[in-house]
Structure 1
């Protein structure tokens, strides 16, 4: 949920900057894309710098928990940067949606078994509530990449429309 709070704050800031006349930040997709990219790069970097915070989240049957954390961090950074490159945007959005689905079982495991992780609440409810936000992450990746235009309607951005 910290991730989503970060997304909302960054989206609001991007919207404000867009209102000040920065043309590349006009419209919800552009603001949400920039916010998602920044959040993914931030948290992906955190995966690499403080893996001990994330290792307890890896299910016990998976080998090499530290490497798994590093791989997820690299995926988040690559996906975030990919959203910023018009040529890669659609692919990055689709792969990020797949990534958010792929990490869902780890979030279920955390909710069932509970954790104590630095920087996150120790309360069990946190991990259960967090599960409800996973579909939002999938939608956010697809929408911000221009692969969906629901619920805002309108047309998909020309810079990412297939030719």
Structure 2
């Protein structure tokens, strides 16, 4: 019979587990949406800003970046690099969301209200901060004892 001793976890240890779980969930989310860029690229094409042209290329490239960065985010050894890549990708890709908002572009015949566009902008900002936190660009613990 094996007895398992209950050991209280330190706050830093709990944060490490939380970071791994959040990295996995966010990584899976990016992989999922990235794969969707390949399964239904025509859905994403309308929001690519006309000024950059070649919407199919940008949809597929952004999907590939999302898949790769999603996988890299899950792996602890590549998490910091992936987090930085995701921050940059989220900033660049917001141009598509902004294009959709400014030009009132419908997806599947659905126009989003200003409220929903605002919610999307807030989510984008939150994802940037989450990526910065996951990559430890934002302090990960409450402070180190000296």
TM class, shorter-chain normalised? Answer: 0.7 to 0.9
RMSD: 2.4
Q: Structure 2: which 5+ runs fail to align? A: 1-12
TM (normalized to structure 2)? 0.78
Match of 2:54 in 1: 64
Once residues 94 and 41 of structure 1 are traced to their aligned partners in structure 2, the CA distance between those partners, rounded to angstroms, is: 16
Match of 2:4 in 1: none
Does 1:139 pair with 2:133? no
Q: Secondary structure at the match of 2:76?
A: coil
Q: Which has the larger radius of gyration?
A: 2
Distance 1:142 1:121, change over 3 A: farther
In the TM superposition, 1:1-20 aligns within 5 A as none
CA contact (8 A) 2:100 2:106 kept: no
Which stretches of structure 1, 4 residues or longer, exceed 4 Å deviation after superposition? none
Match of 2:20 in 1: 30
Q: Tell me how far 1:107 sits from its aligned partner.
A: 1.6
Does 1:48 pair with 2:42? no
TM (normalized to structure 1)? 0.71
Aligned length: 131
CA contact (8 A) 2:72 2:82 kept: yes
Q: 2:142 aligns with which of 138, 149, 153?
A: 153
Does 1:74 pair with 2:95? no
Once residues 35 and 20 of structure 2 are traced to their aligned partners in structure 1, the CA distance between those partners, rounded to angstroms, is: 22
CA contact (8 A) 1:114 1:127 kept: no
Q: Tell me how far 1:147 sits from its aligned partner.
A: 2.9
